[in-house]
Amino acid sequence: MSLRGAGVEPRCRCIGTESRRIGKLISRVELFSPNPHCKDTEIIATLKDSGEEICLDSSAPWVRKVIDKILSR
């Protein structure tokens, strides 16, 4: 698991990020701004079929493409 837990917690949510290109499996993406509890931008994707939540790397070009694609639909 690369996700610590859902909800608002006083620390970062992600403890690792997915490196595989799973864009086609994603139904939802959440973007969290850096805040006093976590200095990182966190991106959490929810998978279409399983509903599983997976942390993504905000600096990965494929992640940005996934977000652009959702926005352009």
| Residue 25 engages its own copies in binding (rule: CB under 8 A) | no
Q: Which of 11, 20, 33, 49 binds its own copies (CB under 8 A)?
A: 33
Structure tokens at 67: 């977000």
d(CA 63, CA 22): 9
Shortest distance, position 45 Cβ to its own copies, whole Å: 9
| Residue 67 engages its own copies in binding (rule: CB under 8 A) | yes
Rule CB under 8 A: which residues touch its own copies? 26-35, 41, 43, 58, 64, 67, 70-71, 73
